[in-house]
Structure 1
């Protein structure tokens, strides 16, 4: 381990009724907590609803919205790395997830992002490919490796664990190792030389 553990924020991106996201996110968070170099926190977009209408730059939003925004901003700023758990809706990520991402800018910069996706035959991979472009614009670094569950509803047992646990755990470990490597490298770089856009 290099210095203090990496702070990983797992982001649950779906807000639909009957969503499957918490099952996938809970499993991944458990896997991440077994990694010797990470501490894990979870941000569920459903618990922090931000409106579609954003205030003009430099203006503070109304009180209730400001509290939500400040809470989310603090979690994002404290994180060294992110793991975004996303389904695929109409070949894209959920609108609530994209809206949450768009509310922030500096908090993402010069930090690594990994993806855990799920869905039908596509496994959420088209949503991930779009999110890679979004995070590049925010000056974040996405790791190549990801975790994907095709026909996810059939891939988990009633205890919320993947039926093919060995493959799923192996994929999660590879992605976590990449997030940890990039997380340490970028945290050290940000400490030595603040990132400027």
Structure 2
């Protein structure tokens, strides 16, 4: 009830929150796809799992995002009790969990699993897997959504730095000669 009441009381905040979730994951999924391409042998099954999670999350999370807007619309057009009753009814619908669970699990685990695949491939240090898990959970467990998304935003910046440090030869999968890759890496420093 607090969730719906909070969203209905501040439409700007709830809209920003819901859009950050939606577009945040929409921008993370392609990064996960790129990470999958970096892992060739060791860690390949983790990379494929990360790619699958990204696809599932990208295809199911928009439905959950719309539920936030729908709950707020019901609260505004009727009352808070009707919005709460509507959400309780949805929770009891058969197969509703078949959308909710994969969307939530995929959106939380896709990037940490991709980082684990990079670690197994020897491209990043192991402690980054733990940081990835903590950052993925931050928006869901932090006391305020701004703090959680702030932590996640800092982590995304760290992911960008991590990916920028991956050798170019890994990005191009052998289509670039080693000498050309080393030359490009020297120019980037």
TM over 0.5: no
TM-score, scaled relative to structure 1: 0.29
More helix by share: 2
* Higher radius of gyration, 1 or 2: 2
TM-score, scaled relative to structure 2: 0.30
More strand by share: 1
